[in-house]
Structure 1
Amino acid sequence: MVQIGYTMMTEHAGPRQLVEDVVHAEQVGFDFSVTSDHYFPWLATQGHSPYAWAVLGAAAQATSRIPLMTYVTCPTVRYHPAIVAQKAATVQLLSEGRFRLGLGAGEALNEHVVGAGWPGMATRHEMLTEAVEIIRALFGGDYVNHHGTYFDVEAAKLWDCPADPPPIGIAVSGERSCEIAGRLADLVIAVEPKGELLTAFDRHGGSGKPRVGQVPVCYDADRETAVRRAHEQFRWFGGGWKVNSELPSPTAFKAATQFVRPEDVAASIPCGDDVDAFVEAVRPYKEAGFTEVALVQVGGERQREFLDWAGEKLLPALRGM
């Protein structure tokens, strides 16, 4: 049975609400949770972007059962991998072993803020590989010295290091990222239900490891309201990873999606309160071989209503697929 998760979308709500919402998600029966880790929202209409790691620390203390996960953190530009290792180890301890570290090659939207430039895709993959190796070494608990192509680490050690370090997931979108994930990750992450990604992951060493997907949905008792909100806040989603990773600002995302119509968004994101439509949006992930799927409810103002509805109607239907 596919596990169903809840997304703390930091672009849709402030930090206190995010924690309150994941507590509610735990109460209504979601199997796990994930959180985005951004500096900017994709669109200004989303209106938020608090520091994900502070939210995770609070969520670890406010919940008792639901697993937590970054979806995803870029450990190469805005964050140094030695700092990511320290943050992940701390959240793993706070959550008593419920944390997984999801990593990816990043987006210009979030990484440009430190003024280090935005490298090409091949370089980003090389940086990600080196960063994962550093994080793994630090999770071992010993002193680490590293002088590589992209990063230096000088006598670093995690003084609060969990006995069971967080499993590492890597986001994939093509052959190269699948090769990195298959070789270095404990699980794979994707936002498209493409079976070929999982096949490539398996081919490079990922066979038998968990695979986590994500599906945007927009619940509202009034479907027209849901369609309008999905268009206002989530039309960026249709651009595809290769485009989205290069755009530097919410203004750029607004310009890139200016001709996307509400009906275009509604064709790819289930809107309203039709349980069957939501189930059919998740089904391709199940059929592709994903073991976990996290739902993104579009719009911070409807999280509680969505969670109550999901606990009563949607989760039972999804588990009955």
Structure 2
Amino acid sequence: MKIGYFLSSEEYSPAELLAQARGAEAAGFEALWISDHYHPWVDAQGQSPFVWSMIGALSQVCSLPVTTAVTCPTVRIHPAVIAQAAATSAVLHGGRFVLGVGTGEALNEHIFGDAWPSADVRLEMLEEAVEVMRELWRGDFVNHRGTHYTVENARVYTLPDTPPSIYVSGFGPKAVDLAARIGDGYVSTMPDGELVRRFRENGGGDKPCQAGFKAAFAASEDEGARIAYERWPNAGVPGELSQVLPSPRHFEQAAELVTEDMVREAFVCGNSADAHLEMIDKYAKAGFDELYVANTGPNFEGLFDLYQREVLPRLR
């Protein structure tokens, strides 16, 4: 299994994200995820730099492959623009760029006042958006009049030698089936072997399956849990709320029902290599090919040191 590092744009400044990318490569991580947000989930996280600026900057500070985890190419930014951004990113990274896509959250996508579509409509929009992007990556002028998008006399001139791969995120059956049908790979955040099996059996075959989990490195498990609860109480917000709540303050209101123990269950807290290896094993048994760990809080250098000294050598 490939082990990568997850850059959380919701929590860290541009300079901190670049420092983490350099530190991850030096520690032996093999690839990077980076989140694409307009807002953080809650104000305590406090950041949200523009992902396409960050991806360009990452190409200048490390050589690791980069995947967006994930971009929503349907509402906030038109897929024709995402097609240009992803193509440039692939050129800058020498082809080591993957466009991870999903149906998004109202938190980031509703900012122009558009109605937030139902889940079925969002899946329909995502499928058409992927069609538009792939058509533009062929290098010809594109005219497209679909159900959701119009493209007129558009051509992407700066293209990589090979079009970017598109990995599709999915947590419910319909989304996983769409990922299997149109994706070059699958993205998740849960160690759920049934979802991986569904992806592979419904058309995904042996395409790559990526996943990620969160950690809070600290001197003790309790201190890590405190940091995780302070920064990411939204980790305990259940069901479809993460897709429909429109602002950080609404997530903060929902998180009032979340306890520290609930967040502790969602994170690997503290400084135990065994705890990280146990979490990694869950995803390996579920059938994932790549796994990305994110740190929350100020102690990311400690996490890099732990992986370099203990976790990665034991895996290899």
Q: TM above 0.5, one fold?
A: yes
Equivalent residue for 2:97? 99
C-alpha deviation, 1:239, in angstroms: 2.5
Equivalent residue for 1:315? 312
Q: Indicate conservation of the 8 Å contact 1:218/1:227, yes or no.
A: yes
Equivalent residue for 1:303? 300
The CA distance in 1 between the partners of 2:89 and 2:179, in whole Å, is: 22
Q: Per the alignment, in what secondary structure is the counterpart of residue 7 of structure 1?
A: strand
CA displacement, residues 191-226 of structure 1 (integer Å, 9 cap, x when unaligned): 111112112212321010000001111111233221
The CA distance in 2 between the partners of 1:132 and 1:312, in whole Å, is: 41
Equivalent residue for 2:34? 35
Equivalent residue for 2:201? 203
Counterparts in 2 of 1:291 and 1:259: CA distance versus 1, 3 Å: same
C-alpha deviation, 1:95, in angstroms: 0.7
Q: Per the alignment, in what secondary structure is the counterpart of residue 145 of structure 1?
A: strand
The CA distance in 2 between the partners of 1:170 and 1:246, in whole Å, is: 19
The CA distance in 2 between the partners of 1:167 and 1:229, in whole Å, is: 35
Q: Indicate conservation of the 8 Å contact 2:235/2:266, yes or no.
A: no
C-alpha deviation, 1:125, in angstroms: 0.5
Q: Indicate conservation of the 8 Å contact 1:32/1:68, yes or no.
A: yes
Gapped regions of structure 2 (runs ≥ 5): none
The CA distance in 1 between the partners of 2:14 and 2:215, in whole Å, is: 21
CA displacement, residues 142-187 of structure 1 (integer Å, 9 cap, x when unaligned): 1111000000000111101111111110001111111211111110
Partner letter of residue 229 of structure 1?
Answer: I
Count of residue pairs the alignment pairs up: 316
Equivalent residue for 1:191? 189
Q: Indicate conservation of the 8 Å contact 1:99/1:166, yes or no.
A: yes
C-alpha deviation, 1:240, in angstroms: 4.2
Q: Per the alignment, in what secondary structure is the counterpart of residue 190 of structure 2?
A: coil
The CA distance in 1 between the partners of 2:294 and 2:134, in whole Å, is: 29
What does 1:164-313 align with in structure 2 at a 5 Å threshold?
Answer: 164-240=162-238, 242-299=240-297, 301-313=298-310
The CA distance in 1 between the partners of 2:265 and 2:15, in whole Å, is: 32
TM-score normalised by L of structure 1: 0.95
Choose from 61, 73, 76 the match for 1:75.
73
C-alpha deviation, 1:308, in angstroms: 2.1
The CA distance in 1 between the partners of 2:125 and 2:135, in whole Å, is: 16
Choose from 105, 108, 113 the match for 1:115.
113
Q: Indicate conservation of the 8 Å contact 2:236/2:262, yes or no.
A: no
| C-alpha RMSD of the superposition | 1.2
Q: Indicate conservation of the 8 Å contact 1:173/1:241, yes or no.
A: no
4+ runs deviating over 4 angstroms: none
Question: 44-53 vs 278-287, which deviates more?
Answer: 278-287
C-alpha deviation, 1:229, in angstroms: 0.5
Q: Indicate conservation of the 8 Å contact 2:36/2:70, yes or no.
A: yes
Gapped regions of structure 1 (runs ≥ 5): none
The CA distance in 2 between the partners of 1:117 and 1:15, in whole Å, is: 31
The CA distance in 1 between the partners of 2:291 and 2:281, in whole Å, is: 10
